[in-house]
Amino acid sequence: MNELAKAIIANSAFAPVANILQAISEADAHAKPSTAAGSAPHSIYDEVWHLAFWQDVTLDWVQGKPTPSPEHAYEGFPTDTKEPWDLLRERFLARTQNAAAIANDTERLEITVACPRPDDPQRSMTVREQLESLAAHNGYHLGRIVLLRQLLGNWPPPDGGDTW
């Protein structure tokens, strides 16, 4: 497994994705912990839904499907949270496996694909660049999830996670 694939699913710059999302109850997934500064703007569920949304867009792009990007950031967060937490988590994790498999297909990494945005409809990147962007985006939001878990007193997960 190359480093790009590891950054998407394995122990690379942070704990493995499956560990970060392990042992989270439905209630904890929907909680928005409070601090002295106020409540968290998003729950773990919201963050994973957002990750799944952008991962699906990225996978569409790297597979040559011209999927439009939303016009506003809030459109990448859920308005309906009826999908059960366990199904959302499993859907996201399954698609991370797909992304990692594409990252390991080194012959495809330098292919240029369209990844349009409202402000740049002609935008393109290589498959590698798009997967690097996905890994960075996932890392950012997974870090938010770790913080939410810490605030909920639910970190580290049973199979381990960075605690320093």
Predicted pLDDT of residue 164: 59
pLDDT digits (tens, 9 = 90+) for 91-130: 999 999 999 999 999 999 999 999 999 999 999 999 999 9
**By C-alpha distance, which of 44, 40, 39, 41 is closest to 28?**
44
Predicted pLDDT of residue 163: 67
Domain coordinates of the chain in residue numbers?
A: 3-151
3-151: CATH class = mainly alpha
* Interacting residues of 160 by C-beta distance below 8 A, sequence separation 6+: 15, 19
Three-state SS string across 121-161, please? Answer: CCCEEEHHHHHHHHHHHHHHHHHHHHHHHHHCCCCCCCCCC
pLDDT digits (tens, 9 = 90+) for 12-56: 888 999 999 999 999 999 999 988 888 999 999 999 999 999 999
Write down the pTM of the prediction.
0.94
- Rounded CA-CA distance 59/118 in Å is 18
